[in-house]
């Protein structure tokens, strides 16, 4: 009998299963044992609903709890503070001499390599990413808005 070449998937399974001490033996159909009655019946274990959750609590995870939904609705009110953040980014960019010259060049209509000006928010973009000035309060507020969001499931408290 010649050895077979394993596919990548078979090789991964062979490597994983080699960590366990067991043997798999093949019995042709006429020599195979009859499976027991419980393993043949699929109606013994519940497939869904409260019974399934009570029998298999590890398979059920509640994604968002009711108090987190209310917290996310409350957080939606705080989204208006993004306009304040945009205004503070715009003000700090004009105060920074490096970015002020780029903004002035873009305002005159000349092109600056990889920089552009967003037409709706008037924010300075570098390769379609918003340029944030090196101001610790702005950076902290951005991190706080995205890190403490209840929908991010990482409140950081």
Mean pLDDT for 133-143 is 83
Break the chain into its structural domains and give their ranges.
8-59, 66-152
pLDDT tens for 110-126 read 777 888 888 777 788 88
d(CA 124, CA 104): 11
Lowest mean pLDDT among 27-41, 56-70, 96-110: 56-70
Closest by CA to 132, choosing from 90, 83, 72, 80, is: 90
pLDDT for the residue numbered 9: 93
Residue 96 contacts residue 133 (beta carbons within 8 Å): yes
pLDDT tens for 74-87 read 444 444 567 788 88
Q: Name the region of 131 (left: φ>0; alpha: ψ -120 to 50; beta: rest).
A: beta
Residue 127 contacts residue 136 (beta carbons within 8 Å): no
Mean pLDDT for 57-80 is 52
Q: What is the DSSP annotation of 64-133?
A: S-HHHHHHHHHHHHGGGHHHHHHHHHHHHHHHSHHHHHHHHHHHTT---TTEEE-TTT--EEETTEE---
pTM of model > 0.95: no
pLDDT tens for 19-42 read 887 777 777 777 767 766 655 555
d(CA 39, CA 46): 14
Mean pLDDT for 142-151 is 72
pLDDT for the residue numbered 151: 64
């Amino acid at each position: 009998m010649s050895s077979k070449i394993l596919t990548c998937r078979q090789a991964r399974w062979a490597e994983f299963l080699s960590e366990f001490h067991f043997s798999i033996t093949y019995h042709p159909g006429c020599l195979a044992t009859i499976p027991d009655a419980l393993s043949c019946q699929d109606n013994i274990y519940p497939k869904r609903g409260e019974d399934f959750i009570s029998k298999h609590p590890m398979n059920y995870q509640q994604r968002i709890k009711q108090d987190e939904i209310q917290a996310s609705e409350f957080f939606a009110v705080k989204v208006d503070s993004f306009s304040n953040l945009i205004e503070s980014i715009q003000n700090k960019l004009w105060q920074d001499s490096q970015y002020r010259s780029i903004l002035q060049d873009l305002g005159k209509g000349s092109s600056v390599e990889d920089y552009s000006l967003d037409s709706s928010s008037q924010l300075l973009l570098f390769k379609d990413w918003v340029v944030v000035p090196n101001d610790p309060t702005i950076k902290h507020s951005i991190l706080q808005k995205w890190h403490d969001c209840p929908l991010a499931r990482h409140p950081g408290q």
